[in-house]
Amino acid sequence: MEPALIVGASIFGGIALVGGILFAAYKFEQARTEKLKAIADELGLEFFPKGDDSVKNSLGHLQLFNRGHGRRMQNMLSGQSDEIEMAIFGYRYTTGGGKNQQTHQQTVISFQTPALSLPAFELRPEHMFHKIGKVFGYQDINFNSHPVFSKRYLLRGSDEEAIRKLFTADVLAFFESQQGISVEADRDRLIYYRSGKRSKPELLRGFMEEGFRVYGLLQHGSSGA
């Protein structure tokens, strides 16, 4: 075969391969959206394939929604009962650029309700660069009574006294029993997610139960603080 034909065939093969991968990804996302829409219908929730701007705007001051670029909500299930506005959605953002570009996707559950009165805080898994950052004054609220929690999580917020009151022994014990979860809150708003993890549609109800458990713990703590 002529060299030019070999090069042409290689280029065509590469284009076909990329096209096939993109098409498969599109079909996967399409099927995911359809499954989540069916779950929303079963639960009597509204469904917004491209998210809901009102929810996005109400949560925009939280740390998760200010990371990276190319931020996008999708496949949102939402509803309201007993003054609790709840939404579950996919959220993605991109960090870096070029060869170092990375897209982060996670499933998030959010709550907004006057039943919450929470100090602003961010809880996330603690990594090595956080430990190094402490040497240079990077904040991390630790609890001597719960060393596992203190080792496993980074907890930050401006009102340390209020945060310590919120994180009761029951709350700390719960988080010690979990791994890889993140929580952010500010006054009447609360979000729960696992960074970089999307819930499979068939496991979404279990994810919702996790979120409501965190909501219940912190709602009880905020009312008792």
Shared domain check, 60 and 17: no
Shared domain check, 54 and 14: no
Find the domain containing 211 and state its range. 45-224
Q: What is the pLDDT along the chain (225 residues), one digit of tens a residue?
A: 566 666 555 666 666 656 666 657 668 789 999 999 999 999 999 999 999 999 999 999 999 999 999 999 999 999 998 889 999 999 999 998 888 899 999 999 999 999 999 999 999 998 654 455 454 455 789 999 999 999 999 999 999 999 999 999 999 999 999 999 999 999 999 999 999 999 999 999 999 999 999 999 999 766 655
Shared domain check, 40 and 21: yes
Question: Is pTM beyond 0.75 here?
Answer: yes
In whole angstroms, what is the distance from residue 86 CA to residue 203 CA? Answer: 18
Shared domain check, 89 and 36: no
Report the number of distinct structural domains present in the chain. Answer: 2
In whole angstroms, what is the distance from residue 147 CA to residue 172 CA? Answer: 10
Shared domain check, 111 and 203: yes
Strands of the chain, DSSP E: 46-48, 69-81, 84-95, 102-112, 118-125, 153-156, 182-187, 189-193
In whole angstroms, what is the distance from residue 13 CA to residue 7 CA? Answer: 10
Contact 213, 190 (CB under 8 A): no
**Spatial CA neighbour of 87 closest among 128, 61, 59:** 59
Residue where a domain stops, chosen among 44, 60, 75: 44
Shared domain check, 18 and 53: no
Residue where a domain stops, chosen among 44, 60, 77: 44
